[in-house]
Structure formats: C-alpha cells, structure tokens
Structure 1
Amino acid sequence: MTNLDQNTWWSQFSQDENGVVLDVRTEDEFNGGHIPGAINIDIYKGQGFIYRVEELDKSKNYYVYCAAGVRSSNACNAMEQLGFESTFNLIGGFSNWDGPVE
C-alpha cells in the first residue's frame, strides 16, 4: 500500500490505464456523492467485503478511499494479504476531497 495525498492520488490515477477507483464506504455514503467511476464495496460487510474484493482483477492498480482514510488503509492492507500488488490509499479520504464528484 502506498499512501498518497489527493493531488498525487488523482493525477496518478488519471494517467493509469490499469487504474480502478474503489470506494469502501457504506452504500449510503457512496450514494451521497462519490469520485467519478468509483466502484463501491463496503468494508463494513466483513466477509462479504472479502468475497467481493476477491472477484476483482488482481493485476489492476486500485485507488482506494473512504471518508477519512482509515477504512481505506485497512482495505488496502486486506487486499495486499489477498494478493493485490498495487493499492493506493487516499490520505484524508472523501471528507477532504476537492476533486470531481458524482
């Protein structure tokens, strides 16, 4: 896992043809606004989170965020244990995000 500030996280993702944005907040949080193109897998679902993440392509680069950066950090750690090689945690999370929002 690499922790990145917002500008680095977004600019790196924007240039990454192999990048996927992963929002690990709850569905309600996600529906209240999210980073464009993000897929939502709620880390609070426990084993359900693991099942959904294991369906993802491990060869992709995952740009992970939550509300403040703690859940996404935990998600990146869990993903690395499952064999994901490239995870990037958004420091400060969505609460500090000033980029595009859907």
Structure 2
Amino acid sequence: MADLSQEQWAQQLKEDDNAFILDVRTEEEVEEGYIPNAKNLNIFKGQAFIYELEALDKDKNYYVYCKSGGRSGQACGIMSQMGFKNAYNLLGGFQEWTGEIAQ
C-alpha cells in the first residue's frame, strides 16, 4: 500500500495497463461525480464490502479513492491484509481531484 499525491496517482495511473480504479465512497457521494472508469464499492457496507473485495483480481493495481483520503487509506490497508499486491491511496481524495470527472 502506498499513499500517493494527486500528481503521482494520476501519472502512475496513466502509465499503468493493469490499473483498476476503486471508489469507496457512498452511492450518494458518487452521484456528485466520479473519476471515469471507477468501480464503486462502499466501504461503509462492512462485511458486504469485504465480500465484494474478495471477488476482485488480487493481481491488478488498485487506485483507491474516497472524498478526502481517509476511507480509501483504510480500504488500502484492508486490501493489503487480504493479499492484494498493489493498492494506492489518493491523498486528498476526490475533493482535491483536478483530473477528468464523470457524472
């Protein structure tokens, strides 16, 4: 797991052909906009969140974000414990994101 600045996260994501973008915010937050191609798994769903993570390919590189970087940091820690090789937390989260946004 690594915490990446907005610039590092965006640059690394752009160059990664094994990337998977994971949005761990609530559905209500996602309705306000999201990073294109992100899959939403709400971390507040508890055990259901764990089950959803278990269905993912552990060999992909996960770029994880939430609103400010706290929940995504927690998600990266959980993923690391579950055997995911690479999980990158977006410091500052979606609220500081200056890249492309989908609605």
Partner of 2:12: 12
Amino acid at match of 2:93: G
- Find the aligned partners of 2:80 and 2:31 in 1 and give their Cα distance: 27
1:78 to 2:78 alignment: yes
- Find the aligned partners of 1:72 and 1:25 in 2 and give their Cα distance: 8
Tell me the matched-pair count. 102
User: What is the TM-score normalised by the length of structure 1?
Assistant: 0.98
SS of aligned partner of 2:83: coil
- Find the aligned partners of 2:4 and 2:14 in 1 and give their Cα distance: 14
Amino acid at match of 1:100: E
Aligned-residue offset at 1:98: 0.9
SS of aligned partner of 1:71: helix
Point out 4+ residue stretches in structure 1 off by more than 6 angstroms. Answer: none
1:57 to 2:89 alignment: no
- Find the aligned partners of 1:30 and 1:11 in 2 and give their Cα distance: 23
Partner of 1:68: 68
Amino acid at match of 2:40: N
Q: Which runs of 5+ in 1 are unaligned?
A: none
RMSD across aligned positions (CA): 0.5
Give aligned-pair identity as a percent: 52
